Chain A
Amino acid sequence: MTKGLIARKLGMTQLFNADGTLSAVTVLEAGPCRVVGLRTVEKHGYTAAQLGFGEPRKKGLSKPEAGVFTKAGVDPARTVLEVRDYDGLEVGQELNADLFAEGELVDVTATSKGKGFQGLVKRHRFSRGPESHGSMNVRRPGSIGATDAARVFRGVRMAGQMGNAKTTVQGLKVLRVDTERNLLLIGGAVPGAKGAVVMVRGSGKAARQAARKKK
């Protein structure tokens, strides 16, 4: 079983540890999330929990959208996301920051900041060519394949859209849980801009490792 909730990224700051060192942390406003619906193997073919988060937009919901919330008997939410393999919940249940404990490892998924159309140096960390002595190969791609292939292979790294894509960072540590203000302070950086909606789930790697140990 994975657990998870929807949160809003508030920004980053730093935290003094007991030994006097500093940790960079991302502050997340964790929930409150409401369980809007459940997906079951019998009915839908997979297990998941549908979570709702945030105030709905001012222009309101369309009738079909509103129907989902009326049926569940839950206040309407702006964002609805599914957490796969999250069971043991009931519709209408509220999830808050206390879902996670301090020291726990989590995976955070969000849409990364958009960087636009970027070249190879920025997008794929290619090294650049010489800038002087008549070199015209400063940020050019170089070779994109062999001649006898007579085509370019799939997946060759080229320039293109960078960022604004769904990104997951795995194995981040929860450094503090503030139940009063409903905050999660997570060590390190999390994808997305300030105000971005992020999904926080229990760490998949840690869960798999624990399962292996049990065997």
Chain B
Amino acid sequence: MNVIDALELEQQKETVPALRPGDTVRVHAKVVEGTRERIQVFEGLVIRVTGGGLRRNFTVRRVTHGVGVERTFLIHSPRIDKVDVVRHGEVRQARLYYLRGKVGKEARIRERRAKEAAPAAAPVEEEEQAPAKTARRRGRAKAKAEES
């Protein structure tokens, strides 16, 4: 295996939740306050998931006190303790930016009913740590190059 891919794989967490836009999540992020470290929970809606492998990140949006707050987390960051998926949402877009201008009823998202009819509080589905899509693609390109 390519050294750089190996280095990236080593830094990845073994299991990360399979997040999709529209999911409601609780992100347990570590925060340093003065000298001690505590865990802060940020609950909201995933409006975007980008990047592959080590660089995968997701943006969570929540509205507090009438103000929209969006935070982007690197899913493999050591500062993230865990991510709980509270609810799966049914959405048609990959990027839910349209929610930014909407409040209340307009900002609702239908719940996704999985084919196996997984209830909302079902255990978080874990994603196998397969190498990143981009890495696989690169690997294929390399194999092709070696053939020729």
Q: How far is the CB of B71 from chain A (nearest CB, A)?
A: 13
Q: Is the CB of A16 within 8 A of B78?
A: yes
Chain B, range 1-24, C-beta contacts under 8 Å to A: 3-4, 7-8, 11
Q: Does A18 contact B (CB under 8 A)?
A: yes
Among B3, B7, B11, B74, max chain A CB count under 10 A is at: B7
Q: Does A13 contact B (CB under 8 A)?
A: yes
Chain A, range 52-109, C-beta contacts under 8 Å to B: none
Q: Is the CB of B4 within 8 A of A20?
A: no
Which residues of B have CB within 8 Å of A181?
Answer: 3
**Complex CA–CA separation, A13 to B76 (angstroms):** 14
Chain B interface category by residue count = 10 to 19
Which residues of A have CB within 8 Å of B4?
Answer: 10-13, 27
Q: Could you say which of B32, B55, B79 contacts A14, with CB atoms under 8 Å apart?
A: B55
Nearest chain B residue, comparing its CB with the CB of A10: B3
Hey, which bits of chain B sit against chain A, CB under 8 A? 3-4, 7-8, 11, 30, 32, 54-55, 74, 76-79
Which residues of B have CB within 8 Å of A29?
Answer: 3
**Complex CA–CA separation, A183 to B77 (angstroms):** 23
Provide the A192-210 mask, 1 if CB < 8 A to any CB of B, else 0.
Answer: 0000000000000000000
Q: Does A22 contact B (CB under 8 A)?
A: yes
Q: Does A162 contact B (CB under 8 A)?
A: no
Q: How far is the CB of A85 from chain B (nearest CB, A)?
A: 31
**Complex CA–CA separation, A192 to B73 (angstroms):** 32
Q: Is the CB of B8 within 8 A of A20?
A: no
Which residues of A have CB within 8 Å of B78?
Answer: 16, 18, 20
Chain A interface category by residue count = 10 to 19
Q: Is the CB of B3 within 8 A of A183?
A: yes
Q: Does A159 contact B (CB under 8 A)?
A: no
Name 27 A/B residue pairs within 8 A (Cβ), A-sorted: A10-B3, A10-B4, A11-B4, A13-B4, A13-B7, A13-B8, A13-B54, A14-B8, A14-B54, A14-B55, A15-B7, A15-B11, A16-B11, A16-B76, A16-B78, A18-B78, A19-B79, A20-B77, A20-B78, A20-B79, A22-B74, A27-B3, A27-B4, A27-B7, A181-B3, A183-B3, A185-B7
**Complex CA–CA separation, A22 to B75 (angstroms):** 13
Provide the A1-25 mask, 1 if CB < 8 A to any CB of B, else 0.
Answer: 0000000001111111011101000
**Complex CA–CA separation, A10 to B76 (angstroms):** 23
Which residues of B have CB within 8 Å of A27?
Answer: 3-4, 7
**Complex CA–CA separation, A14 to B30 (angstroms):** 21
Nearest chain A residue, comparing its CB with the CB of B73: A20
Which residues of A have CB within 8 Å of B7?
Answer: 13, 15, 27, 185
Which residues of B have CB within 8 Å of A13?
Answer: 4, 7-8, 54
**Complex CA–CA separation, A78 to B94 (angstroms):** 51
**Complex CA–CA separation, A22 to B76 (angstroms):** 11
